[in-house]
Structure 1
Amino acid sequence: MKFPKNALSILLFWMVTLFLTSTIQAQTKQIKRPKNSVGISSVDTFVNESFDLYDKVYKYDGYAAAGTPLEDEDIDVLEDALDDLSGLSESAPDILGDLDGASVLKQGKATLQINRAKKALNYSIKTAKELLLGQREREEKDEENDTASNKPSNDSEESDSNSDSNESDTEASNEPVNISDNLEVYSKFDFVPGDKLLFFDDFSQDFIGDFPSKWNTNASGEVVKIGDIGNWFELKSGYGVYFIPNVKNLPEDYTIEFDILTKGLGGQTSSTARFNVILSDNDKFDEGSQHYAYISIPVGQYGAFSLRARNFFNRNTGDINTDIKADIRKEVLNQPHISISVTKNRYRLWINQTKYVDIPRFIQELNVLKYVKFHINNFKDGEEHLYISNLKVTEGGVDLRRKLLSEGKVSTNGILFDSGSANIKPQSYGIIRQISQVLMQDENIKLNIIGHTDADGTDDANLKLSKSRADAVKQALVNIYNISENRLETEGKGESNPVADNTSTDGKAKNRRVEFIKI
């Protein structure tokens, strides 16, 4: 938006006045543009555009420091830059979802560069406004921070193998997130999926446009293909509309995992727009006949709305009727992974690596909630969408640590990888954490890590992939949990040792596994 001409004259007058005063302090130290790209197009574009605008504002800030007045065209450039900066800043959360599927280190590098770009944006927005209003003035500490010292600088760029620079890929000490921060988050993630697969559906066996074959509903829905991220099931919004996977007789201890994807959500999305995960005593199109419990996840974007926990037993309102304060707006927009663990009465729910719900007596009566249902409501028809995929229900109850210690080996299909790659999905780190605890408890234990795949692809490709995945698990134990690599061996067996039928989705999920065997 352009300033009126009389406003420009007033601003120019104040700028000239400001430049002629002695209160201008030295310009802040320049934030360095990353030399190398991340390899994720949206991230690289965001970083480059952020620094292109930053360079413009920094140049005019230099004029202010030197006492050089701005011309009318300079002010026009600053006005346009300010509009672009605001729009670019608002787009930052949208690119976070593109980090899903990248390796841990690539996610860390991307996060580092995004935060450096955001730091440049924050400086640029603040500075452009001050320049336009004739209020640009540094604090003494900025000048002091720029003076030479014998302390090594942390505001440096990543190293270049073709130069003599000793710079590293670290940011200033006030940078909010870096690679080790991400690894620390993963290292504390304590969700552990069950060990016996009860149900799995990624909709890969369904035709696009059809209702999924392993689900039921009293309304409508269809499987859609979205870009290169596979098949998803679109849920339809409506009062009294339920979507029920063919999961029967849930045990006392089990886990539920799935991914959700949203489209069209924004500032106009209703505060009552919600995604509900229901545990029920029947497979009918209602919440339940006598017993049910549910968690309601908000998707509205104009405010931070609470998660809701409700339970009902013996046709009466239960003991739990709670609103749990949380701001999950960014997560909702960026393809979050939902993990639920039910251990007898205890109920826990994670969104990505953060645990939001942990209620010790949420399930007030055991062995009555046998089914899982999904429901969404108050989405704008044709504008706001929610999709689900990779629904996995597993029976729990086995402590992998105790089993590994007592039996000398353990097999799990809970360590997940991106399709066709050795990139470990973040939600898998709960299992790797348990394995690390065994190794830390007894320093004499050595393990052979064996990767297995399903039968999709060629024998040679699967053999190589299974070995790469075993190596990735080893590196996670070494890099995150500081296990000596001399205690770990790896092996890949590809598709040669299946434990289930490779012609079904469930069978393939069971065959994609990692074994740990004491040496």
Structure 2
Amino acid sequence: MRSISSIFILTLIPIVSFAQIRISDPTRVVERQAENRANRKVDQAVDKGFDSLEEGIGNMFKKKKKEEEVKGEKGETGGKGGREEGGVSERADGEGANEAAVSGKSEKGSLKSYSKFDFIPGDKVVAVEDFSQDAVGDFPAKWNTNSSGEVVTIEGTEGKWLLLGPEGVFYPEFVNALPENFTLEFMLASTSDFSFYSGYLRAIIAEVADPAKNFTHWKSFDGDKKNGIELGLHPKNAGGQQGLAFFNVFGADPAGSLMKNEKSIPAFHVHDHNPVKISIWRQKTRLRLYVDDFKVWDLPRAFNQETKYNFIGFSNAGYHQEADKYFVSNLRIAVGAPDTRSKLITEGKFSTTGILFDVNSANIKPESYGVLKDIATVLTENGTVKVKIIGHTDSDGDEGSNLALSKKRAASVREALSKDFGVDAARLETDGKGEAEPASPNGTSEGKANNRRVEFLKM
């Protein structure tokens, strides 16, 4: 486990106290605007408030009217409010946003549709960011940037989003450690009709001298950096029918000749799959990147074990047209290498936060497939083992309702293991504890995420 500074980085053990952003220095703002007059126009538009922004991106996530009518007739729109009036809204959703499915996305696929999705999140959630503590219109208090941005809500989706301003770097200051095994998940959206000529949204994992000191000099992360990788995503390739991804190693290159690679990604096209879930999985030197259920990269030598990675953040190289925007939400960072077999068979107990459910529901989200498959494999290879499946919730809501929900979720897991993975249901018992046995204090988002778990006890 290595300590690090921050930008998209995660808090290890212990989680560092949150710092406030420092972007309100008038001198710095003037200097930045003098450097880039083009950016100033966008900054001024953002400063005028959300109404002017809404006018520029009012067609966000809007599909063609005919397409929506067809889906409406088939009952496929899903979610509250549908997408027909998609745009930015100033309403703030309630609790459960960090587990919420985007409206219209929860029905995009069944559990089986993720049959090639082998992503397994880390054992312990150490950082969750859903912007619930931030007011709409403000830059999030736990982040820093050398550009501009603000917390927004998007009609037809749950929770809050961070709108990324033009040409800059954005990172959370509360993350300061990045081990050799971790997973990073977040939701990514863009405005519809996104220009092919606008820049990629880059997720950067790097070794940086001092991000808090040097970030004001960066534009698209061209400033002070040493070693690291860049994972770039764009919602449109030249043909406009697919998205585009690139992978780039800078500084010390562990793969020798591998410096950059680029490919089309069918999972990220603005009219078909927006927003999308991004999942990044590091296991020592190995890197996997997924867009929804599509595995974009599986590179065995992407990370350099000698590099002290201390920085994860977003970089935006600039928008070709003012209406183009990227949005991120629901960041989740977990640490530790999964070891289901050892924990369940040897230790007799395995607990996971990787089986996800729709809000206030026992419906299992399809991105839980990798975890369920891993558990099913262990049970299949150990055919005499019987387990009790126990559901747990956080403390939000009514205690009695949480207890009932935890029991229903355990039953859903039992059904999925039996129906979708062929595990004999007679080997599986279920129970639920609700909020009665928390694994972590419920006072933080990270604690609540660790308490929303499914436990497997060997009988």
- Give the aligned partner of residue 264 of structure 1: 192
Partner residue in 1 for 2:227: 291
Which residue is equivalent to 1:406? 346
Q: Amino acid of the residue matched to residue 262 of structure 2?
A: I
Tell whether the 8 Å contact from 1:312 to 1:318 is kept in structure 2 after alignment. Answer: no
Partner Cα separation in structure 1 for residue 68 and residue 319 of structure 2: 33
State how far apart, in whole Å, the 1-side matches of 2:126 and 2:257 are. Answer: 30
**1:306–1:380 distance in 2 versus 1, CA, 3 Å:** closer
CA contact (8 A) 2:202 2:314 kept: yes
RMSD: 2.9
Deviation at 1:411, TM superposition (A): 1.0
CA separation in 2, counterparts of 1:208 and 1:317?
Answer: 43
Go from structure 1 to structure 2 and tell me whether the alpha carbon gap of 1:472 and 1:383 turns closer, same or farther (over 3 Å shift): same
- 2:375 alignment partner in structure 1: 435
Match of 1:397 among 337, 345, 356: 337
What is residue 249 of structure 1 aligned with on the other side?
177
Aligned to 1:100: 105
Give deviations 1:175-199, integer Å, cap 9, x for gaps.
xxxxxxx544423321111102221
Out of 417, 421, 444, the residue aligned to residue 504 of structure 1 is 444
Deviations 1:370-409, CA, capped at 9 Å, x for gaps: 2211012332454122211111111122312221111011
Structure 2, unmatched stretches of 5+, are 1-64, 75-83, 85-100
Select the residue among 69, 82, 88 that pairs with 1:45.
69
Q: Which has the higher contact order (CA 8 A, sep 6+)?
A: 2
1:369 counterpart SS class? coil
Aligned match of 1:177 = none
Q: 1:230: which partner in 2?
A: 159
Give 1:502 deviation, angstroms. 1.3
Residue aligned with 1:457, SS? coil
Superposed CA deviations along residues 106-128 of structure 1, whole A, max 9, x for unmatched, are x56xxxxxxxxxxxxxxxxxxxx
Q: Determine if contact 1:297/1:307 at 8 Å carries over to the other structure.
A: yes
Aligned match of 2:246: 308
Helix, strand or coil at the partner of 1:428: helix
Separation in 1, partners of 2:71, 2:162? 33
2:125 — aligned with what? 197
Alignment check: 8 A CA contact 1:290 1:315 kept:
no
CA deviation after TM superposition for structure 1 residue 300, in Å: 2.4
Task: Provide the rounded CA distance (Å) in 2 between the counterparts of 1:97 and 1:234.
Answer: 16
Q: How does 1:77-88 map to 2 (within 5 A)?
A: none
User: Counterparts of 2:280 and 2:364 in 1: how far apart (Å)?
Assistant: 19
Change (3 A) 1:209 1:97: closer
Aligned length: 356
Shift of 1:433: 0.8
Structure 1 Cα separation of the partners of residues 286 and 424 of structure 2: 36
Which one of 182, 193, 204 corresponds to residue 278 of structure 1?
Answer: 204
State the distance in 1 between where 2:171 and 2:196 align: 21
Distance 1:217 1:44, change over 3 A: closer
| 1:330 Cα deviation from its structure 2 partner | 4.5
Q: Is the 8 A contact 2:439 2:451 kept in 1?
A: yes
Distance 1:471 1:44 in 2: 35
Residue 446 (structure 1) aligns with: 386
CA separation in 1, counterparts of 2:151 and 2:281? 27
Distance 1:265 1:317, change over 3 A: farther
Q: Deviations over 1:300-322 (max 9, x none)?
A: 26524642111123599964323
Q: 2 CA distance for matches of 1:491 and 1:331?
A: 41
1:375 has 2:328 as partner: no
Give 1:516 deviation, angstroms: 0.6
Please list every run of 5 or more consecutive structure 1 residues that lacks an aligned counterpart in the other structure. 1-40, 51-90, 109-181
Distance 1:329 1:405 in 2: 36
Equivalent-residue separation in structure 2 for 1:249 and 1:467 (angstroms): 36
Distance 1:340 1:245 in 2: 20
Structure 1 pair 245–329 and aligned structure 2 pair: CA distance change class (3 A): farther
Q: Does structure 1 retain, via aligned residues, the 8 Å contact 2:353–2:452?
A: yes
Deviations 1:203-233 (A, max 9, x none): 1222222222222212221111223511111
What SS does the aligned partner of 2:259 have? strand
CA distance in 1, matches of 2:359, 2:299: 34
One-letter code aligned to 1:236: G
Please give the per-residue CA displacement for 1:56-92, whole angstroms capped at 9, x wherever unaligned: xxxxxxxxxxxxxxxxxxxxxxxxxxxxxxxxxxx9x
2:340·2:374 contact (CA, 8 Å) conserved in 1? yes
Report the TM-score when normalising by structure 1: 0.63
Distance 1:514 1:48, change over 3 A: closer
Q: Give 3-state SS (helix, strand or coil) of 1:326's partner.
A: strand
Task: Give runs of aligned pairs for residues 421-500 of structure 1, distance below 5 A.
Answer: 421-500=361-440
SS of aligned partner of 2:454 = strand
Please tell me whether the aligned partners of residues 499 and 510 of structure 1 are also in contact (alpha carbons under 8 angstroms): yes
Q: Which moved more, 1:301-310 or 1:474-483?
A: 301-310
Question: What is the deviation of 1:359?
Answer: 1.2
Please say if residues 235 and 269 of structure 2, whose CA atoms lie closer than 8 Å, have aligned partners that are also in contact. no
1:114: which partner in 2?
Answer: none
| Partner residue, 2:265 | 327
* CA–CA distance in structure 2, aligned partners of residues 499 and 395 of structure 1: 16
The alpha carbon displacement at 1:280 in A equals 1.3
Shift of 1:479: 1.6
Structure 1 residues 184, 49: CA separation in 2 closer, same or farther (over 3 Å shift)? Answer: closer
